[in-house]
């Protein structure tokens, strides 16, 4: 069928008309190949303009459409809708931006007119090679897999489960509750962490849309947003479970850095040097000391030093919550042992937000001492332990104490790398699972449908972890609506079977893990459900096999050639 | 409320980054969203910033695609120049009264050519630009603001003061200017409400010791954001009041912290960002940060701090006593922690003020019948546990309306309100 390209130039009131000689544009473009009609209109985006455009497409039986007007950001969507109304495939349409890129910026009218002619000629040359594309959609599973049964995982499960959405919660340990379960007190209200977990678990137990697997490992996750195939193995029985979900939430939490690697603190060598988590354990009524804060010799401590920021320098980041829970530890000490002397050795107090300074001031009022210390060293002799410290200005001091509580940096839990590899999620410089966008997509990962919440993506407090769980739930509930199909990106990449040499370059550069290798045919294959059409593969492919639909080499070449003619 | 996406409708108050994110996610689920914004433009505080830490992305470019998506989303009704006046009912069945002021420029007909500004004879301070530049009585706050449709400021427009001026209408080729437009009262039926009204900054004239509004070349961090902005009053040129580039700048942290009684979370990073920006624009400039405690929480920020420190920015732990004029420059008297007094002489001083709830928060709290805390921020139902629920079921808070926070935490809260709202049916 012969091509019939219609070209419509918008005067945009006087915005284009004042600075571009539109009659000369029409005259110059009319003889171009395949151009059936070139016309101008006062304002194409107006209701009259859209109707005129629609009728023109029908009357002239156009096969392709070029609109020369404003930025596609403003009205591409508008004119694509007009195409649809006129039964023309909207991908057989191209815009030339002769307002922002020409009339508004090119001062001389003659020059602007020449430029507009080139811009529109380029769009004509390109549109002739555009492909008619169709929107595709896929059925989705609304169900969700949550990995990690700490507070973040529990909350995500609770928010997501509903009669039309099943949630699978997988925890490697024998019980749910994560780290929070082991905290006798939580800042700032000093309420029990285990009671909080118990309350949350009650909600889960009562919900028949939730399936919990404890002592279980996720062994494999294949597929894409809307349709992941999951394999879980129950460790005790080796029983294998297979099910499908539409989305995955990683809530794998954190570990504390092991202070044994930092000999200056004496951890593992001196009797009464503890990590903050060990101190937490001491406070739990059912714990090893029955909830009593005791030294190794069975006596309660008379003086305690809490050393902040252990390992911060090595990690290269601030663990965000340590200042606050060190204040909490001081309060727990003071509550149980009113006469105890507590000293906080810190470098910068990080207590962000509206509620924490008050907690700090109240703690200080209990007689807790705050000492600014950059370098700290713990030693022991026959008289007891000494904490030597040096401030940033060089002044030195020492403290004789019975007990030292170290506050180590938080690091991603040991499972992080396993899941990063399983799901092809990048790990950031600090070892945590990376976000899709640091500012705008805090819980999404670069793999669509996989979300990372809580301390798995960086140190955070309980309320921030809960918010992130609810945020992932918000993203999932918004996109995976039961009974609704998922629309896929239209302009995806395609790899020519004929030209692909199987070098796998595309696989290594694809940020969405959308390309896999077909071992039998020895070529790369694009998964359209994962491809975002970014074009990185097309740019990297050495044999020209990869290209993005409607950004093919021919189209770009034709466009550039017409621009430069 | 049903979860199948069609029967839910939500009122979102405030069209900053939190309100935008909530609205988009809700709309994509199939819910109908009324997004109410009191200004004539949307995008909130973020669009005032030239770049955002720590990757120094252009803030406007970062948020513009979301704004465009929102403007084209048929499930979202963006009501600008609007304020919520009353709310009745309960979760699943709220009725909200919204007053929408007339813009006097038709959103459909206006194409954003700006031809109407030129002939306007009125010139007043541009509030968006922190009064560092002038605007007309018909105006858009800055280049690139969305929607790209002006508004008539009836307090200053000659016609609305009774004079027979219609110069803007005569200049408009699209008959977009309509002096007869009326304010509207809308009644909206919604199932849930998201409050995302954001923040303002502490009034620096309350701390006179730093010389704000008394001495030359003393700025707030917000003013400097506009000075740094390529679409701002100086088009991104960092200049002193005498038109010369500063050779030395000091940034004082934590202004108003003592008065407010809390740490505003993001000022250290914002101050470090401005140092980065200054160093980038004027490589020879000497930048000193006067701070008490560095609060750069989380895994991402320390790297940025170290980079900026490495570029030659001085970090001085100090308490500032007084700022005075010294010749053409400024003298900052400060004390370090060991009690030593010292003086720093600079050409320009930037103050980092505390973050406060938006002006109308108390009025809105009353309308919505939700509590505020002692600082005026909206209170969450369960402090330390869940920051998006309020004590009134069906009403949620996101972003700095709840407490000072950075952009990612704000976006997460916005997404969390969606999680909570879409799961309300159970």
- For residues B305 and B297, what is the distance between their CA atoms, to the nearest angstrom? 11
Task: Using alpha carbons only, give the angle B117, B123, B125 rounded to the nearest 5 degrees.
Answer: 110
Instruction: Please name the residue of chain A whose CA is at the shortest distance from the CA of residue B108.
Output: A46
B230-266: burial string, b at 16+ Cβ within 10 Å, e else? ebbbbeeebebeeeeebebbbbbbbbbbeebebbbbb
As given in the structure block, the two tokens for residue A536 are 């990185």
State which residues form the domain around B19: 9-101+183-198+358-422
- For residues B142 and B192, what is the distance between their CA atoms, to the nearest angstrom? 33
Interface of B with A in 170-229 (CB under 8 A): 173-174
- For residues B384 and A325, what is the distance between their CA atoms, to the nearest angstrom? 12
Q: Does A486 touch chain B (CB under 8 A)?
A: no
CA dihedral A453, A454, A455, A458 (to 10 degrees): 70
Could A354 and B262 be called an inter-chain contact, meaning their C-beta atoms sit closer than 8 Å?
yes
Cα of B131 to nearest chain A Cα, Å: 28
> Which helix (DSSP H) or strand (DSSP E) does residue A212 occupy?
strand A210-213
Provide the percentage of residues in chain A whose pLDDT is more than 70: 100
Per-residue pLDDT, B4: 41
Could A350 and B295 be called an inter-chain contact, meaning their C-beta atoms sit closer than 8 Å?
yes
- Shared-domain flag, residues B207 and B341: yes
* Predicted ipTM of the assembly: 0.95
- Shared-domain flag, residues B269 and B397: no
Residues 6 or more apart whose Cβ sits within 8 Å of residue B256: B202, B204, B206, B207, B353, B354
- Shared-domain flag, residues B368 and B328: no
Tell me how many residue pairs between chain A and chain B have CB atoms under 8 A apart: 228
* pLDDT tens digits for range A179-209: 999 999 999 999 999 999 999 999 899 899 9
* pLDDT tens digits for range A329-352: 999 999 999 999 999 999 999 999
Q: Does A71 touch chain B (CB under 8 A)?
A: no
Could A438 and B54 be called an inter-chain contact, meaning their C-beta atoms sit closer than 8 Å?
yes
- Asked if A4 and A62 touch (Cβ cutoff 8 Å), the reply is yes
Distances (CA, A) of B134 to B44, B130, B151, B213, B274: 20, 10, 15, 18, 24
> Cβ–Cβ contacts within 10 Å for residue A202, how many?
10
> Which helix (DSSP H) or strand (DSSP E) does residue B12 occupy?
strand B9-13
Residues of B in contact with A440 (CB under 8 A): 21, 62-63, 66, 407-408, 411
A315 in the Ramachandran plot: left (φ > 0), alpha (ψ -120 to 50) or beta? alpha
- Shared-domain flag, residues B189 and B255: no
- Shared-domain flag, residues B270 and B400: no
- For residues B107 and B100, what is the distance between their CA atoms, to the nearest angstrom? 14
Residues 6 or more apart whose Cβ sits within 8 Å of residue B273: B51, B52, B53, B54, B56, B304
Q: Does A352 touch chain B (CB under 8 A)?
A: yes
Report if residue B156 sits inside a domain. no
A495-509: burial string, b at 16+ Cβ within 10 Å, e else? beeeebeeeebbbee
- For residues B404 and B267, what is the distance between their CA atoms, to the nearest angstrom? 10
Identity of the residue in A189, A348, A395 whose CB atom sits nearest the CB atom of B384: A189
The domain that holds B283 is classified in CATH as 3.50.50.60
Residue A120's Cβ-count burial label (10 Å; 0-12, 13-18, 19+) is: buried
Bridge partner list, A477: none
Instruction: Please name the residue of chain A whose CA is at the shortest distance from the CA of residue B404.
Output: A353
Q: Does A220 touch chain B (CB under 8 A)?
A: no
Cα of B219 to nearest chain A Cα, Å: 24
Coil, helix or strand at residue B383: coil
DSSP A101: I
Coil, helix or strand at residue A82: helix
As given in the structure block, the two tokens for residue B361 are 């928060």
- Asked if A332 and A185 touch (Cβ cutoff 8 Å), the reply is yes
* DSSP of B161-198: GT----HHHHH-SS--B-TT---EEEEEEESEEEE---
Per-residue pLDDT, A94: 97
- Shared-domain flag, residues B300 and B410: no
Report if residue B34 sits inside a domain. yes
As given in the structure block, the two tokens for residue A410 are 């938080």
CATH architecture for the domain at A268-398: 3-Layer(bba) Sandwich (3.50)
- Of A322-331, A376-385, B79-88, which gets the smallest average pLDDT? A376-385
Cα of A218 to nearest chain B Cα, Å: 25
Band (pLDDT 50/70/90 cuts) for residue A227 is very high
Phi, psi of A265 (to 5 degrees): -95, -5
Bridge partner list, A432: none
Instruction: Please name the residue of chain A whose CA is at the shortest distance from the CA of residue B416.
Output: A471
Residues of A in contact with B72 (CB under 8 A): 77
Report if residue B39 sits inside a domain. yes
Residues of A in contact with B337 (CB under 8 A): 372, 391, 393
Residues of A in contact with B303 (CB under 8 A): 316-317, 429
- Shared-domain flag, residues B209 and B348: yes
- Shared-domain flag, residues B367 and B269: no
- Asked if A344 and A317 touch (Cβ cutoff 8 Å), the reply is no
Report if residue B410 sits inside a domain. yes
Could B423 and A320 be called an inter-chain contact, meaning their C-beta atoms sit closer than 8 Å?
no
Identity of the residue in B293, B384, B407 whose CB atom sits nearest the CB atom of A187: B384
CA dihedral A507, A510, A516, A522 (to 10 degrees): -30
Instruction: Please name the residue of chain A whose CA is at the shortest distance from the CA of residue B380.
Output: A463
Residues 6 or more apart whose Cβ sits within 8 Å of residue A150: A176, A177, A178, A179, A180, A251, A253, A454, A465
- Shared-domain flag, residues B193 and B49: yes
Residues 6 or more apart whose Cβ sits within 8 Å of residue B61: none
Could B25 and A474 be called an inter-chain contact, meaning their C-beta atoms sit closer than 8 Å?
yes
Judged against a pLDDT cut of 70, whether residue B2 lies above it is answered with: no
Cα B163–chain centre separation: 34
Q: Where are the alpha helices (DSSP H) in A258-338?
A: 276-283, 312-315, 322-336
Per-residue pLDDT, B7: 67
DSSP B308: H
Can you tell me the mean pLDDT for A372-400? Answer: 93
Q: Say if strands B9-13 and B32-36 run parallel, antiparallel, or are unpaired.
A: parallel
- Asked if B328 and B242 touch (Cβ cutoff 8 Å), the reply is yes
Residues 6 or more apart whose Cβ sits within 8 Å of residue A199: none
Band (pLDDT 50/70/90 cuts) for residue A511 is confident
The sign one gets for the Cα dihedral A425, A429, A433, A437 is: negative
Distances (CA, A) of B73 to A435, A465, B68: 26, 30, 9
Per the CATH hierarchy, to which homologous superfamily does domain A144-253+413-479 belong? FAD/NAD(P)-binding domain (3.50.50.60)
Can you tell me the mean pLDDT for A84-110? Answer: 96
Identity of the residue in B63, B306, B412 whose CB atom sits nearest the CB atom of A471: B412
Identity of the residue in B29, B413, B415 whose CB atom sits nearest the CB atom of A481: B29
- Shared-domain flag, residues B399 and B320: no
DSSP A99: I
Interface of B with A in 378-417 (CB under 8 A): 380, 383-388, 403-405, 407-409, 411-417
Residues of A in contact with B317 (CB under 8 A): 392
As given in the structure block, the two tokens for residue A273 are 């040097």
Query: Edge-to-edge strands of the sheet including B184-190?
Result: B82-90, B93-100, B184-190
Residues constituting chain B: 426
Could A442 and B62 be called an inter-chain contact, meaning their C-beta atoms sit closer than 8 Å?
no
Could A352 and B113 be called an inter-chain contact, meaning their C-beta atoms sit closer than 8 Å?
no
Instruction: Verify cis geometry, omega within 30 degrees of 0, for the bond prior to B54.
Output: yes
* pLDDT tens digits for range B336-360: 988 899 999 999 999 999 999 999 9
As given in the structure block, the two tokens for residue A188 are 């700032």
Could B300 and A438 be called an inter-chain contact, meaning their C-beta atoms sit closer than 8 Å?
yes
* Domain chopping of chain A, boundaries: 5-133, 144-253+413-479, 268-398, 489-549
Phi, psi of B105 (to 5 degrees): -135, 130
- For residues B196 and A181, what is the distance between their CA atoms, to the nearest angstrom? 32
Residue A155's Cβ-count burial label (10 Å; 0-12, 13-18, 19+) is: buried
Identity of the residue in B174, B385, B408 whose CB atom sits nearest the CB atom of A438: B408
> Cβ–Cβ contacts within 10 Å for residue A390, how many?
15
Hey, of B8, B384, B413, which one would you mutate to test binding to chain A, going by the most A CBs within 10 A of its CB? Answer: B384
Interface of B with A in 30-59 (CB under 8 A): 30, 52, 54-55, 57
Band (pLDDT 50/70/90 cuts) for residue B1 is very low
Q: Does A458 touch chain B (CB under 8 A)?
A: yes
Residues of A in contact with B418 (CB under 8 A): 471, 474-475, 477-478
Can you tell me the mean pLDDT for B198-223? Answer: 97
Coil, helix or strand at residue A528: coil
The last residue of one of the domains, among B329, B354, B379, is B354
Task: Using alpha carbons only, give the angle A368, B377, B355 rounded to the nearest 5 degrees.
Answer: 75
- Of A324-328, B139-143, B196-200, which gets the smallest average pLDDT? B139-143
* pLDDT tens digits for range B37-67: 999 999 999 999 999 999 898 898 889 889 9
Residues 6 or more apart whose Cβ sits within 8 Å of residue B216: B240, B241, B325
Q: Does A326 touch chain B (CB under 8 A)?
A: no
Judged against a pLDDT cut of 90, whether residue A13 lies above it is answered with: no
- Asked if B36 and B184 touch (Cβ cutoff 8 Å), the reply is no
Q: The domain A5-133: what is its CATH number?
A: 3.40.50
The percent of chain A in helix, strand and coil, each rounded to the nearest 5, is: 30, 25, 40
Could A159 and B420 be called an inter-chain contact, meaning their C-beta atoms sit closer than 8 Å?
yes
The last residue of one of the domains, among B301, B332, B354, is B354
Report if residue B78 sits inside a domain. yes
- Shared-domain flag, residues B369 and B287: no
Calculate Rg over the CA atoms of chain A: 32
Report if residue B21 sits inside a domain. yes
Report if residue B141 sits inside a domain. no
Per-residue pLDDT, B426: 54
Please tell me the class of the A489-549 domain: alpha beta
Residues of B in contact with A460 (CB under 8 A): 298
Judged against a pLDDT cut of 60, whether residue B400 lies above it is answered with: yes
Could A356 and B54 be called an inter-chain contact, meaning their C-beta atoms sit closer than 8 Å?
no
Please tell me if the domain spanning A5-133 has the same topology as the one spanning A144-253+413-479.
no
Total domains in the fold of chain B: 2
- Shared-domain flag, residues B251 and B332: yes
- Asked if B151 and B168 touch (Cβ cutoff 8 Å), the reply is no
Cα of A326 to nearest chain B Cα, Å: 15
Cα A222–chain centre separation: 19
- Asked if A43 and A74 touch (Cβ cutoff 8 Å), the reply is no
As given in the structure block, the two tokens for residue B302 are 């320390």
Interface of A with B in 355-394 (CB under 8 A): 355-358, 372, 391-393
Hey, of B419, B421, B425, which one would you mutate to test binding to chain A, going by the most A CBs within 10 A of its CB? Answer: B419
CA dihedral A556, A559, A561, A565 (to 10 degrees): -170
Instruction: Verify cis geometry, omega within 30 degrees of 0, for the bond prior to A434.
Output: no
- Asked if B406 and B293 touch (Cβ cutoff 8 Å), the reply is no
- For residues A76 and B99, what is the distance between their CA atoms, to the nearest angstrom? 33
Residues of B in contact with A12 (CB under 8 A): 111, 113
Per-residue pLDDT, A423: 93
* pLDDT tens digits for range B54-106: 989 889 888 988 999 999 999 999 999 999 999 999 999 999 999 999 999 99
The last residue of one of the domains, among B302, B321, B354, is B354
Judged against a pLDDT cut of 60, whether residue B232 lies above it is answered with: yes
Cα of A486 to nearest chain B Cα, Å: 11
Residues constituting chain A: 565
């Amino acid at each position: 069928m012969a091509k019939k390209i219609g070209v419509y130039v918008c005067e945009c009131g006087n915005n284009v008309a004042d600075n571009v000689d539109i009659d000369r544009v029409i005259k110059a473009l009319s003889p171009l190949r395949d151009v059936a009609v070139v016309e101008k209109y006062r304002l194409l985006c107006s209701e009259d303009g859209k109707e005129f455009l629609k009728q023109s497409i029908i009357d002239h039986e156009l096969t392709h459409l070029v609109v020369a007007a404003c930025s596609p950001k403003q009205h591409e969507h508008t004119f694509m809708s007009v195409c649809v109304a006129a039964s023309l495939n909207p991908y057989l349409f191209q815009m030339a931006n002769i307002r922002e890129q020409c009339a508004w910026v090119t001062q001389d009218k003659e020059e602007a007119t020449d430029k507009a002619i080139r811009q529109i000629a380029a769009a004509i040359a390109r549109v002739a090679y555009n492909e008619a594309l169709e929107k595709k959609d896929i059925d989705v599973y609304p169900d969700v897999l949550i990995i990690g049964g700490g507070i973040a995982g529990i909350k995500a499960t609770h928010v997501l489960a509903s009669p039309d959405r099943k949630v699978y919660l997988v925890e490697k340990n024998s019980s749910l509750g994560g780290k929070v379960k082991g905290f006798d007190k939580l800042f700032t209200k000093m309420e029990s962490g285990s009671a909080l977990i118990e309350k949350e678990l009650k909600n889960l137990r009562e919900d028949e849309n939730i399936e919990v697997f404890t002592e279980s490992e996720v062994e494999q996750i294949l597929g894409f947003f809307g349709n992941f195939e999951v394999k879980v193995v129950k460790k005790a029985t080796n029983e294998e479970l297979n099910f499908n979900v539409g989305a995955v939430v990683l809530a794998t939490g954190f570990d504390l850095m092991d202070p044994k690697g930092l000999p200056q603190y004496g951890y593992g060598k001196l009797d009464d040097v503890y990590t903050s988590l060990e101190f937490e354990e001491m406070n739990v009524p059912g714990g090893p000391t029955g909830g009593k804060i005791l030294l190794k010799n069975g006596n309660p401590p008379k003086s305690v030093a809490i050393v902040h920021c252990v390992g911060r320098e090595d990690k290269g980041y601030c663990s965000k919550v340590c200042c606050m829970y060190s204040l909490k530890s001081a309060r727990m000490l003071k509550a149980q042992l009113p006469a105890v002397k507590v000293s906080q050795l810190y470098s910068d107090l990080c207590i962000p937000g509206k509620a924490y300074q008050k907690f700090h001031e109240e703690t200080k009022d209990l007689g807790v001492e705050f000492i600014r210390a950059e370098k700290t060293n713990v030693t022991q002799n026959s008289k007891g332990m000494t904490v030597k410290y040096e401030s940033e200005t060089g002044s030195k001091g020492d403290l004789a104490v019975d007990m030292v509580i170290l506050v180590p940096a938080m690091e991603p839990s040991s499972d992080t790398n396993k899941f990063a590899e399983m799901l092809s999620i990048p790990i950031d410089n600090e070892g945590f699972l990376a976000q899709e966008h640091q500012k705008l997509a805090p819980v999404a990962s670069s793999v669509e449908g996989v979300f990372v919440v809580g301390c798995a993506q960086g140190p955070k407090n309980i309320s921030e972890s809960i918010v992130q769980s609810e945020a992932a739930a918000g993203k999932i509930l918004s996109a995976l609506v039961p009974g609704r199909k998922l629309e896929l990106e239209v302009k995806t990449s395609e790899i020519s079977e004929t030209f692909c040499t199987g070098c796998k370059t595309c696989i290594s550069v694809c940020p969405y893990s959308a390309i896999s290798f077909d071992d039998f045919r020895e070529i790369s294959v694009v998964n359209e459900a994962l491809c975002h059409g970014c074009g990185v593969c097309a740019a990297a492919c050495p044999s020209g096999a990869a290209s993005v639909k409607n950004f093919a080499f021919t189209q770009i070449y034709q466009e550039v050639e017409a621009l430069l003619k | 409320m049903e979860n199948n996406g069609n029967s839910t409708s939500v009122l979102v108050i405030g069209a900053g980054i939190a309100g935008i994110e909530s609205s988009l996610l809700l709309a994509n689920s199939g819910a109908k969203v009324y997004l109410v914004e009191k200004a004539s433009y949307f995008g909130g505080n973020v669009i005032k910033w030239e770049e955002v830490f720590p990757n120094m992305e252009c803030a406007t470019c970062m948020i513009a695609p979301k704004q465009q998506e929102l403007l084209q989303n048929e499930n979202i009704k963006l009501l600008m120049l609007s304020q919520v006046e009353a709310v009745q009912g309960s979760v699943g069945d709220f009725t909200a009264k919204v007053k929408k002021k007339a813009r006097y420029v038709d959103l459909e007909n206006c194409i954003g050519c700006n031809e109407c500004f030129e002939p306007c004879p009125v010139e007043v301070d541009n509030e968006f630009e922190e009064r560092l530049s002038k605007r007309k009585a018909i105006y858009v706050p800055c280049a690139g603001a969305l929607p790209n449709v002006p508004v008539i400021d009836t307090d200053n427009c000659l016609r609305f003061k009774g004079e027979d001026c219609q110069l803007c209408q005569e200049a408009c080729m699209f008959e977009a200017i309509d002096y007869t437009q009326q304010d509207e009262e809308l009644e909206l039926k919604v199932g849930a409400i998201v409050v995302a009204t954001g923040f303002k900054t502490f009034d620096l004239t309350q701390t006179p010791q730093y010389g704000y509004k008394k001495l030359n070349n003393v700025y707030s961090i917000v003013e400097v954001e506009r000075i740094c902005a390529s679409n701002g009053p100086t088009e991104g040129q960092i200049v002193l009041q005498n038109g010369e580039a500063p050779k030395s700048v000091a940034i004082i942290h934590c202004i108003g912290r003592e008065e407010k009684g809390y740490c505003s979370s993001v000022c250290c990073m914002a101050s470090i960002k401005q140092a980065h920006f200054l160093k980038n624009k004027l490589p020879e400039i000497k930048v000193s940060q006067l701070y008490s405690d560095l609060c750069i929480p989380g895994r991402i920020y320390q790297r940025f701090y170290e980079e900026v420190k490495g570029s030659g920015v001085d970090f001085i732990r100090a308490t500032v006593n007084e700022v005075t004029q010294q010749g053409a420059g400024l003298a900052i008297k400060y004390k370090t922690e060991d009690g030593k007094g010292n003086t720093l002489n600079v050409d320009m001083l930037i103050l980092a003020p505390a973050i406060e709830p938006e002006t109308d928060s108390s009025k809105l709290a009353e309308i919505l019948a939700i509590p505020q805390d002692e600082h005026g921020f909206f209170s969450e139902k369960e402090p330390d546990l869940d920051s998006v629920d309020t004590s009134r079921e069906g009403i949620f808070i996101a972003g700095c309306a709840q407490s000072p926070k950075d952009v990612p935490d704000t976006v997460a809260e916005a997404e969390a309100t969606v999680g909570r709202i879409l799961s309300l049916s159970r």
